[in-house]
Amino acid sequence: MIVGIASICCLGPIPAIVAIILGGVALSQMKKDPERVGGRQAALTGIITGGLTVILYGGLMIIYIIAIIYGLNS
Per-residue pLDDT tens digits for 13-72: 888 888 899 899 888 888 888 788 778 888 888 889 889 889 999 999 999 999 999 888
Q: What is the pLDDT of residue 71?
A: 87
Q: What is the pLDDT of residue 1?
A: 66
Q: Is 62 exposed, middle or buried (0-12, 13-18, 19+ CB in 10 A)?
A: exposed
pTM of the predicted protein model? 0.77
Dihedrals phi, psi of 26, to nearest 5 degrees:
-65, -45
